[in-house]
Chains A and B, each alone.
Chain A
Amino acid sequence: MDITRILQRELKKGSTEMLIMALVEDRPRHGYEIAKLIGERSDGVLQFHVASLYPLLYRLEKRGHIKGQWVEKAGQRRRRYYKLTAEGRRVLAAQRNTWQEFFAALDRVAHITPEPTDG
């Protein structure tokens, strides 16, 4: 199998939990919104299916990183909104750190950000 695709899959898997937590960091969001935001903000690169999104939400919730709650707003249907818990905030910070270090290391070795051209 193509090395690039394996890499893509593994990266996605490792990063999706962080993406979701980041998206509900500022305010609670429901599943559909989360799915759309991931697609929009990554310009379609990170688009993924409901089949992986919701189970991931459930797993995060069970671990206590996010919390889901049914909210009924006037004129709207009842939806389940997820928000980041205190525990989730710590985990998110730690993950961001890890990823930053990881990318910095990658960059130092493999130059993944484009280098400025010489004079």
Chain B
Amino acid sequence: MADEGKSQWVRLVRARLAPLGLEGPREAEIVEELAEHLEDAYEESLALGRTEEEARGDALAQFQDWRLLECEVSRAERSAFDGLLARAGVDSEKRGGGANMLELIIKDLRYALRMLRRKPGFTAVAVLTLALGIGGNTAIFSVVNAVLLRALPYPEADRLVSVYETLPQGGTGGVSTPNYLDWRAQSDAFTGLAAYQFGDFNLQEEQQPVRAVGATVTANFFDVLGVTPQHGRAFLEGEDKMGRDRVVVLSDRLWRRNYGADPGVVGQDILLGGEKYQVVGVMPPTVQYPMATAELWVPLVFSDRQLASRGSHWLIVMGRLKPGVSFEQAQEQMSTIGRVLEQQYPGPQEGRNVALRRVEEEAVQGVRPALLMLLGAVGFVLLIACTNVANLLLARAAARRKEVAIRSALGAGRWRLMRQFLTESVVLALLGGAAGLLVARWTLQALTSLAAGYHSRMSDVALDWRVLGFTGALSVLTGVVAGLVPAFHVSRADVQETLKESGNAGSSARGTWLRSGLAVAEVAAALVLLVGAGLLVKSFLRLQQVETGLRPEGVLTMRVSLPASRYDTPEKSSLFYREVLERVSALPGVEAAGIINMLPIQQFGNNGEIQVEGREPLPLGRVPLTENRRASSGYFKALGIPLLAGRLFEPGDETSGAVKVVVSRELVRTFFPDGDALGKRIRWSGGSEWWTIVGVVGDVKQSGLTQPSRPELYFPYTVGSGGMTLVVRGAADDPAEMTAAVRREVQAVDPNQPVYNVLTMEEVINRSTVNFRLNMTLLTIFAGLATLLAVVGIYSVMSYLVTQHTREIGIRMALGAQPGNILKLVLGQGLALTLVGVGVGALLAFGLTQLIPRFLYEVGGTDPLTYVSVSLLLTVVALVACYIPARRATKVDPLVALRYE
């Protein structure tokens, strides 16, 4: 019982002496001694027959004047310190100076840690707040670091450029074979110009064929890239000529996955599309070009037809600038070459020239604006977190004004006090940063699964030294920013005033203003993010309502690639597909099955300019581009694309010279404004063969949900050969259930034929909006976080105000104010703060959303509905947060409040 009693005194005394910051053991000694005294007094009173409560009161009466005690103890202890130093011969002037800065810093740190440990609740809230802010920033910065900042892993990657042909309609496109060869021969700005094309290969593995992606490349490809293989060699000059081209270079990934990382695979043959290719080299893992998933490279051999056709722009060209040649010089030279070629070949080259782009820029062009926007958004979150912590520190600083006053009365300089406060906030922020790293780790794990396919370099995202440095620097900066305001505030406090003051009333008006200002800033920042997120969400909802022109539910798609070596004529591949379609259509539960060479809603397609029979061709570049695809009749049925007029394909439609085509409604609208297209003939501008229109089908979004439908032209699949995508509509709820059955039927026709890219049509559509959804999701999370933090901020300010004004509220109530009046008073103040914040935030958002129209779809940056609804949302949430302290205010007991000192 006695022990229990004493420990209660110990706690009491320790709490009172804490602000003095005495040395640990000395403090313990004093605390014990004073507690002992209290216990003695208490026991004595008990012995005199007083009740426990009375005895406690008697004991406490001895310590009536705590402030005097604190002051005196501190002075006594300090004089001892002075005495020691004086004896050691240290001049008191010099002590505060640079004599032992490190010692002082360590002292500050220890003091700071002790203060933080004393208030675990405060510390936890502050650290958590900072962890969210810093963690979010670290996560986004990791992505920026991996995607934007880290250079491509090739030597002097800044010298690598892509070279394109410019189109008469504007923009850039692929390069024809003769043009590539002319450029190579005529330009001396590059150490080399390589050409490549993406490619799919059927790679024969032990049991069954799999699809391998890669590229067909000219022999100088790896030289231009500046890489050497880890095993074997790269391509030799001349290996891109017919007859010497049966060689292959493997990627590190394929080499590890399929060949157990055995260097002995170099020199062996592998089967690609049924043909033998000799492995000559294995590239290191850093070589991921032209795409991160590249698994192998084979030589690019130009056919006679390709060598002759200046009108077929199918190559992608990459060059390495010679040392001393600038990007601009190279562009100038290539433009000159382009003009000469235009004069030389006026037909195919009309309106075409050459454009260079840096490979480094291309690698990030799609994601840079989005990443910068997200970095900005998460920066706002950190600002709010900072403001919140500054607010918490201010509240605490107010509670510690006496401590500060005592310290400064004892001679602590202003700078000394500020340094102490800054040390505390920086320590807090560093703790927040450490916790933030955890937050970042989790965020990144979530992010990488959410962002699969966002960018090829997402796989490089990691918490490396650069990220750690960023987080460290950010934490210190955060600590300084969050601590500066309270430090200034406190160091300016008037010692005399503070010591004279009773309780908390009075001179903290400045503090109240500051805190209110910070809360307003938080609300404003949160509103900016909410507006941004609101606009993105609204765009996304619009996107969901986009009429795609097809019915994706219940549809399964999968890709089949026919190797040109075995399916070298349209007849052979048509036979294969016809048989597959017959078998798949006969499967139980399958309602319709078809094929198409390229699925819609993806970001690529084939297009060209058409000409209507009997009309003058429009000048080049003035005709809307027409998409073209090859499909079977079943394709339209399977995807639910309606036949509006005429018929679909019939056998024989592919007959050369009498090819029949089906067109989209948009094509009819564009080229046949009178609506009468059936039976009319069209062809490629400048082409030789006319095609007859036999049917009109509905429009689909060929190049993504946000793009308008273009005129489209469908050929019967039987006119060509090559890879196709199977499209199967089933009765089952989950179309993916049909996968195994369909695969079986394909391999029943050709056992060497792999199927891949197995996706439901809904997945295809979802993937087309992955970036959009990622931006929206992240911005919404940030906005939610910002709102939460801002609301906590408002809440803490209102709580503080209520505590500060307990006395005033008590007086009001004593004078007859009703709880309802008090509630209104407090809520009114909270509402005022919120509304000012909302107003400022709306103005800010108005300016900032001008920067993001590219992320929006059919929603303006000033969409009034979004502004109004997020403002309302924020106001309501803030009011709810104010309600808690407001209710507490109504519970104030006037008697207690008036006694409250």
Contact = CB atoms under 8 A, between A and B. Distances in A.
B37 A55 contact: no
A74 interface: no
B62 A79 contact: no
Contact of B68 (A51, A58, A77, A80): A51
A32 B749 CA distance: 104
Interface in A60-91: 62-63, 77-80
Interface string A15-37: 00000000000000011100100
A56 to B, nearest CB: 8
Interface stretch (B45-53, B71-79, B175-183, B754-762): B71-79
A50 interface: yes
A54 B36 contact: no
Contacts of A79: 36
Interface in B35-65: 36-37, 39-41, 62-65
A59 B65 contact: no
Given A58-B73, A59-B79, A51 B66 contact: yes
B63 A52 contact: no
B170 to A, nearest CB: 86
A62 B83 contact: yes
B37 A50 contact: yes
Nearest to A58: B76
A49 B33 contact: no
B40 A55 contact: no
Contacts of A49: 62-65, 68
Contact of B37 (A32, A52, A56, A78): A32
Contact of B80 (A51, A56, A58): A58
A103 to B, nearest CB: 28
A30 B34 CA distance: 11
A58 B37 CA distance: 15
B36 A32 contact: yes
A52 B76 contact: no
Contacts of A55: 69, 72-73, 75-76
A44 B65 CA distance: 19
Contacts of A51: 63-66, 68-69, 72
Contacts of A58: 30, 73, 76-77, 80
B69 A32 contact: no
A54 B73 contact: yes
A53 B76 CA distance: 11
Contact of B33 (A31, A52, A56): A31
A27 to B, nearest CB: 18
A46 to B, nearest CB: 15
Nearest to B26: A58
B33 A80 contact: yes
B69 A54 contact: yes
Contacts of B64: 49, 51
A20 to B, nearest CB: 13
Contacts of A52: 68, 72
Contacts of B83: 62-63
Contact of A50 (B2, B69, B77): B69
Contacts of B76: 55-56, 58-59, 62
Interface in B597-650: none
A112 to B, nearest CB: 30
A37 B236 CA distance: 107
A72 to B, nearest CB: 12
Interface in B3-31: 6, 29-30
Contacts of B41: 32
Contacts of B36: 30-32, 77-80
B34 A50 contact: yes
Given A32-B36, A77-B36, A80-B33, A50 B62 contact: yes
B139 to A, nearest CB: 53
Nearest to B81: A62
Contacts of B75: 55
A80 B204 CA distance: 90
A77 to B, nearest CB: 7
A117 B62 CA distance: 43
A68 to B, nearest CB: 8
Interface string B803-839: 0000000000000000000000000000000000000
Contacts of A30: 36
Contacts of A62: 76, 79-80, 83
A63 B86 CA distance: 13
B83 to A, nearest CB: 6
A56 B68 CA distance: 12
A67 to B, nearest CB: 14
Contacts of A77: 2, 6, 36, 39
Contacts of B79: 59, 62
B65 to A, nearest CB: 5
Contacts of B68: 49, 51-52
Interface centre among A31, A58, A62, A63 (most CB of B within 10 A): A58
B87 to A, nearest CB: 11
A23 to B, nearest CB: 15
A53 to B, nearest CB: 9
A51 B74 CA distance: 12
Contacts of B40: 32
Contacts of B63: 49-51
B66 to A, nearest CB: 7
A62 to B, nearest CB: 4
Contacts of A78: 32, 36
Nearest to B33: A80
A35 B77 CA distance: 20
Interface centre among B2, B40, B73 (most CB of A within 10 A): B40
Contacts of B72: 51-52, 54-56
A78 B10 CA distance: 14
Contacts of A35: 37, 62
Interface centre among A35, A49, A56, A78 (most CB of B within 10 A): A49
Contacts of A32: 36-37, 40-41
A55 B40 CA distance: 18
Contacts of B29: 80
A54 B66 contact: no
A54 B65 contact: no
A62 B85 CA distance: 13
A54 to B, nearest CB: 6
Contacts of A31: 33, 36-37
B74 to A, nearest CB: 9
B71 to A, nearest CB: 8
Contacts of B30: 54, 58
A115 B20 CA distance: 52
A51 B38 CA distance: 12
A35 to B, nearest CB: 8
A5 B29 CA distance: 35
B431 to A, nearest CB: 35
Contacts of B37: 31-32, 35, 50, 54
Contacts of B69: 50-51, 54-55
B40 to A, nearest CB: 4
A50 B63 CA distance: 6
Contacts of A54: 30, 33-34, 37, 69, 72-73
Contacts of A63: 83
A110 to B, nearest CB: 32
Contacts of B39: 77
A81 to B, nearest CB: 11
A69 B39 CA distance: 19
19 contacts: A31-B36, A32-B36, A32-B37, A35-B62, A49-B65, A51-B66, A51-B69, A52-B68, A54-B73, A55-B73, A56-B72, A58-B73, A62-B76, A62-B79, A62-B80, A62-B83, A77-B39, A78-B36, A80-B36
A-B residue pairs, 4 tightest by C-beta:
A55-B72, A62-B80, A51-B69, A32-B40
Given A51-B68, A54-B69, 16 more contacts: A31-B33, A32-B41, A35-B37, A50-B34, A51-B69, A51-B72, A52-B72, A54-B30, A54-B72, A54-B73, A55-B73, A55-B75, A56-B76, A59-B76, A62-B83, A63-B83
